[in-house]
Structure 1
Amino acid sequence: MALHSLFYPAQSLETELQFFQQGLGLAARFRDGQRYAALDAGGLTIGIAAEDERICTQAAAVFRVADIEQSLALLMAAGATLLRPLERGPHEWRAVVASPAGHHLILSSKL
Structure 2
Amino acid sequence: MSTFEVRQIVLSTDNLDESIAFYTETLGYQLKFRDGAHYAALDGGSVTIALATAVDHPLPGKTVVGIKTPDVDAAAQAIEASGGAIVKGPYNDAHERRAVVYDNKGNGLVFYSPLPR
TM > 0.5 fold call: yes
What is the count of residue pairs matched by the alignment? 111
Gaps of 5+ in 2: none
Q: In 2, distance between residues paired with 1:14 and 1:89? A: 25
Residue 80 of structure 1 corresponds to which residue in structure 2?
Answer: 84
Counting aligned pairs with the same residue, the percent is 27
Gaps of 5+ in 1: none
* 1:28 aligned residue (28, 31, 45): 31
Cα deviation for residue 51 of structure 1 reads 4.6
Cα deviation for residue 3 of structure 1 reads 0.8
Residue 53 of structure 1 corresponds to which residue in structure 2?
Answer: 56
Given the two structures, how large is their TM-score scaled by the length of structure 2? 0.86
Q: In 1, distance between residues paired with 2:8 and 2:58? A: 14
The residue type paired with residue 67 of structure 2 is: F
Cα deviation for residue 69 of structure 1 reads 0.6
Q: Which runs of 4+ in 1 moved over 4 A?
A: none
Q: Secondary structure at the match of 2:21?
A: helix
Cα RMSD after superposing both structures: 1.4
2:32 paired with 1:38: no
Contact 2:7–2:46 (CA under 8 A) maintained in structure 1: no
Per residue, is there more helix in 1 or in 2? Answer: 1
Contact 1:10–1:54 (CA under 8 A) maintained in structure 2: no
Q: In 2, distance between residues paired with 1:46 and 1:91? A: 18
Q: Deviations over 1:57-103 (max 9, x none)?
A: 30111000101111111111111112222222333221211112111
Q: In 1, distance between residues paired with 2:92 and 2:51? A: 18
Residue 70 of structure 1 corresponds to which residue in structure 2?
Answer: 74
The residue type paired with residue 108 of structure 1 is: Y
Contact 2:41–2:49 (CA under 8 A) maintained in structure 1: yes
